[in-house]
Amino acid sequence: MKITLTKEQYKTLIEMVYLGEWMVNACRKPDEIIKKYQDLKQHVFSFSRGEDLEDLLEFDEESGEFVLAWDFEMESEVSKYRLEFEEETFWDELLEKLSTRDVIRKCGEKAVEKMDGADFYREQIPFLEKYEKEFEQHGLDRLEIMGTEDKLSAR
């Protein structure tokens, strides 16, 4: 198979491959990396050799891998997209986990296990709405850990 790309299309492909592999492997320990994604990223990045793309990619002699050039990673949309994804995922996960916890507290674990998805979601909606409103208005300012004997204080 042969694919022909302009330099601009190749740059976009580099960004997409980087972001995709990052999403799969960023949260994994080195021995848990899903190699097929890392290998494909390296394969796609390897086509930069001899193409005057040092502003996009660098070859790290120590690791033997291609990496995004630091300036490109920090100044391109890659960094912006990654941060947007992390921010949105954080709030979605926080809402989901807190509201699920509260449904279990309200209904009991055994009752929740017997619920179908629609019934669970109906129970979850008021909690989702409550937390969404809270976090939109106050962020994390009013989120506290209760019941700890050793109170943490800012120093």
Backbone angles phi, psi at 3, to 5 degrees: -120, 130
Domain assignment present for residue 144? The answer is no
17 shares its domain with 54: yes
Q: Quick one: pLDDT at residue 155?
A: 45
Provide the token pair at 83.
Answer: 């941060």
| Distance, CA of 31 to CA of 37 (rounded, Å) | 14
Domain assignment present for residue 81? The answer is no
Q: Quick one: pLDDT at residue 76?
A: 82
Q: What is the pLDDT along the chain (155 residues), one digit of tens a residue?
A: 899 999 899 999 999 999 999 999 999 999 999 999 999 999 999 998 878 887 889 999 999 999 999 888 888 888 899 999 999 999 999 999 999 999 999 999 999 999 999 999 999 999 999 999 999 999 999 988 887 665 555 54
Domain assignment present for residue 103? The answer is yes
Domain assignment present for residue 24? The answer is yes
Backbone angles phi, psi at 46, to 5 degrees: -65, -20
Domain assignment present for residue 42? The answer is yes
- Domain limits at 48? 7-75
Domain count, the chain: 2
| Distance, CA of 40 to CA of 34 (rounded, Å) | 11
Q: Quick one: pLDDT at residue 149?
A: 62
15 shares its domain with 69: yes
Domain assignment present for residue 61? The answer is yes
71 shares its domain with 102: no
What's the pTM value of the predicted model, to 2 decimals?
0.73
Q: How many CB atoms lie within 10 A of CB 99?
A: 21
Question: Amino acid letter at 146?
Answer: M
Q: What are the Cα distances from residue 149, in Å, to 97, 140, 145, 146, 152?
A: 24, 21, 11, 9, 9
